[in-house]
Each structure stands twice: as C-alpha cells, then as structure tokens.
Amino acid sequence: MTSLGTTAPRPPENSPDSGLIRREDTPAPLPSGESSAPGKAARVQIGEAAARRHTAPIASMMFWGALCASTVIALHKLSADWGARQGSYRTGVLTLSVFLLAALYPVRKYTLWFSLHWLRLAPWLSRAWAVWLLLLDRLETWRVVHVTFGVFAMLPFWWHMQFGRQSLLELALEILAMLLVFSGFLGTLVEDFLPARMLKLGNQEVRLEDVEVASHRLYVEAEEMVLGHSEALVHAYISFVRPILAGNQPSRTLLWATLMGNNPALAVCKPARLLAGGFGAEESAFHELVNIAERKVSLDHNQFNLRLNTAWLRLHRRLAIRVLVLIIFHIAGVLYFAGI
C-alpha cells in the first residue's frame, strides 16, 4: 500500500503477480503543490482481473433468470420420459445436490473462507488462468451461479414430484419451493431496476442509519430557523411543515414515486409552498423552511427504497429456511419408511 503522492512500485517481471497489477503509462510530472493535494495520488491501474471485478458478467439478472426458466420448461418437455425412468431416489438426490450448490452463494457472501482457499492457487497458475480464477471469485459471478442453479433445481424437482401420490408435507414443500424461486425472480427484478432508479432520483444515502441522522439534523435545523419569526409564520410552520419533518410519508405514495421515477417532495410540500407569498418580508424564510421539508421527504423516499431493496431478501431467506426444514423432514420420512 502506498501513501498519497507516492508512486506504486512496479512488480518484478518474473513474479507470479506481475501480470495482475500494472501501472499506466507514466503521466506528466505534477507540480509539487498539486502532487500533495488530496485525490492527486499517482494513478495506478489494476490489471484485467481486478479492473473487471465490479462489472457484472450478466447485464440483466432478470433476463438471465427468465432465460434459465424457459430452458427448464423446454428440457422438461423433452425429457419427461427420461426423468420417469430415473426413479424417485435418483431425482431426489439430484434435486438435493442442485439445491445445495445454489446455497453456496450465501455462504460465500458472508464468509471469506472460500476466497482465501480459492485464491491461494492464483500465484501458482499462469497469468490467464489466474485472471479467470479471480473473475470466478467475484460475488457477481457467484450470484449468476446462484440464480442458475436455483432455477435449474426446478427441473429435477419437477421430475421428483411426479412419483406417487403427494402427502401434505410434499404438497407444502412444492408450494414453498415455487414461492422460493418466485421470490428469487422478484429479487432479480429489484436489483436490476432499483439501483438505477435510486441514482436517477438522487438518493444519496446508502445506509438506513445515515438517513435517520440526516432526518434528525433537518428537524433540528428547521426548529432553530423558525425561532424569532412572526406568530403567523410559526403557526404555518407548526401546521404545514413540522408534520412533514416529524412524520413519514405513506408507503404507497413512495412506491408510486419510485415506479414513476418522480420525486414526491414537490407534491407533498406544494400546499406549504403556496403559503409563502402571504408572509411579506418573511417569504424567503418560509421558502427555506419548505426547502428543508422537501429534503426530508427526499430522505423518506431514500429510506423507503433502501428498505425495499432488502425486503425481498428477508422474504427469500425465510422461505429458504422453511424449504430446508421441509426437505429434512421429507428425507427423514423416506429413510424411516425405507427401514434405513
């Protein structure tokens, strides 16, 4: 690691990592005053693997999931007889195996164990293989694999559910498995749509804690600003502006604004804005109070979008846990009745 204003050393040509990190062509020397300014550090370009580390291998996960689902339906139509010949035990083992492969993604997401052991191989491989190894370790790549296995698990599951008469447990398992896949599709839709929409709407905060701190700061600022003004302005502030600062907007209003790509602040604060003309010399002060209220509504919208971005994931996790529990009960029942 280098400090600001220093140049990253060039790795030896014969070292295993020489192809992974390289400098750009040396830029023109900066004056001494500029070289020490923040953000003027030497430009270092990460090599092919690291440079592509944050680029998604699939442009649209929703499109990829729909393509996998179409493939599963087509394969089931073409291989219905083959699945029937495999029997319930083989299709059950195959279904369980694919589900377990899909479950590796959350394990990789919350622990670095896989990466630490996986990337130990990189120094011993050629440059091309090391690049591919790093690309495969990206969370984006694991997400593609997760969606692919999650959808394709429905093919052996489809074969497996056609054997015999379903019990109540198996029916519940089938329904929950379909809901699990549906919630995954919902997640791909949210992840494809919401980040770009939030960027368009100017949602700047990325943590719920930051939204709450910013909202509290706006409330305090408005309360201090209204001090010393006329009774009429204070009354209008208490009646029209403070409820916006102290409350939250209805979820349906914020959801509709997200879907339409509109900022709800203008419409919510319009009644208060219309009152500003009646305060004479204090008109600008009341306009500033309404501006604060509009920023608060924008923060409410930001908070709603952040929660929407994670709500589907909580649903997906709960369904996955329930499916896992039912699978365990199903396997235990099969082994019990088989006398194992």
pLDDT of 11 reads: 44
Contact residues for 15 (Cβ-Cβ < 8 A; gap 6+):
none
**Amino acid found at 15:** S
Q: 10 Å Cβ neighbour count for 105?
A: 19
Q: Where are the domains of the chain?
A: 1-46, 60-164, 175-340
Q: 10 Å Cβ neighbour count for 279?
A: 17
For the chain, what is the mean pLDDT? 79
pLDDT of 84 reads: 77
Count of residues making up the chain: 340
253, burial (CB in 10 Å: exposed 0-12, middle 13-18, buried 19+): middle
pLDDT of 57 reads: 61
Contact residues for 241 (Cβ-Cβ < 8 A; gap 6+):
222, 272, 289, 290, 292, 293
State the 10-residue block means of pLDDT for the chain, 340 residues long: 41 43 41 42 36 57 90 88 82 90 82 74 78 76 89 90 80 92 91 84 82 93 92 92 92 91 90 88 92 94 90 91 91 78
For residue range 12-33, list pLDDT tens digits in order: 444 444 443 343 344 444 444 4
For residue range 292-317, list pLDDT tens digits in order: 999 999 999 999 999 988 898 899 99
How many Å apart are CA 158 and CA 68, to the nearest integer? 15
- Give the relative orientation of helices 61-78 and 168-201 as an angle to the nearest 10 degrees: 150
134, burial (CB in 10 Å: exposed 0-12, middle 13-18, buried 19+): buried
